[in-house]
Amino acid sequence: MKKNSIIKALLIVDVQNDFCPGGALAVTDGDQVVPVINQLIDQFDVVCASKDWHPDQTIHFDRWPVHCVANTPGADFHPQLNQDPIDQILFKGTSNRDDGYSAFEATNINLTQWLKQKGVEELTIVGLATDYCVKASALDAVDQGFQVIVKQEAIRAVNLLPNDGNKALNEMKQAGVEIV
Ligand code: VGL
């Protein structure tokens, strides 16, 4: 660890088969974030990655096609994602009563506590999707007191409406997220 440098973490959000082309809730070009993430993953002191991990029945599927059901291939990470540097997987969306968009709603660990125990001050967020889980995670991260960076090259939006991704970027900026 370099002297005087703050501890930096990477949070990879939901880079799972169902959000990539061919998946149940495919995000356009969702798989294109993978090489970008693999390029930068070794630059961090701490790496965590969330998995959308739904029960087979949940109110979330009233709104969305069935996707990322726990222990199914659709919920696996994209096969090209370099998983070796991942220190902790965060399972979220595990309840049948809410959407569970944010990685800070992970139910297997308390993400804020886990990051703070490691002394993390700066959190870089990448993954899928810009307008739902990336946004929700970034806004929660700001609320929890982290310096938050979102890498635009390493995120993609669902874009139910064509401008949703851009709106989400603006919302994050307004909240204090640095978009790079
Ligand atoms: C997501 C829509 C529905 C996401 C999850 O990972 O951003 N989007 N469920």
Is position 140 annotated as part of the catalytic site?
A: no
Q: Taking a C-beta distance cutoff of 8 angstroms, is the pair 78, 17 a contact?
A: yes
CA of 101 to the centre of ligand 1 (A): 6
Q: What is the rounded CA–CA span in Å between residue 179 and residue 169?
A: 8
Q: Would strands 7-13 and 120-128 be described as parallel, antiparallel, or unpaired?
A: parallel
Grouping H, G, I as helix, E, B as strand and the rest as coil, residue 2 is coil
Ligand 1 atom 3: the closest Cα is on which residue? 64
Q: Measured between alpha carbons, how far apart are the two ends of the chain, in Å?
A: 24
CA of 8 to the centre of ligand 1 (A): 25
Question: Could you read off the pLDDT of 140-169 as tens digits, one per residue?
Answer: 999 999 999 999 999 999 999 999 999 999
- Provide the b/e sequence for 126-152 (b: ≥16 CB within 10 Å): bbbbbbbbbbbbbbbbbeeebbbbbbe
Please report which confidence band the pLDDT of residue 4 belongs to, taking 50, 70 and 90 as the band edges.
confident
Among residues 68, 131, 133, 140, which one is catalytic?
133
CA of 3 to the centre of ligand 1 (A): 38
Question: Could you read off the pLDDT of 107-131 as tens digits, one per residue?
Answer: 999 999 999 999 999 999 999 999 9
Is position 76 annotated as part of the catalytic site?
A: no
Question: Could you read off the pLDDT of 30-65 as tens digits, one per residue?
Answer: 999 999 999 999 999 999 999 999 999 999 999 999
Ligand 1 atom 9: the closest Cα is on which residue? 101
**Residue 2 pLDDT exceeds 70:** no
Is position 133 annotated as part of the catalytic site?
A: yes
Among residues 18, 48, 92, 140, which one is catalytic?
92
**Residue 3 pLDDT exceeds 70:** no
For ligand 1, residues with CB inside 6 Å are: 14, 19, 25, 52, 64, 128-129, 132-133, 158
**Residue 171 pLDDT exceeds 80:** yes
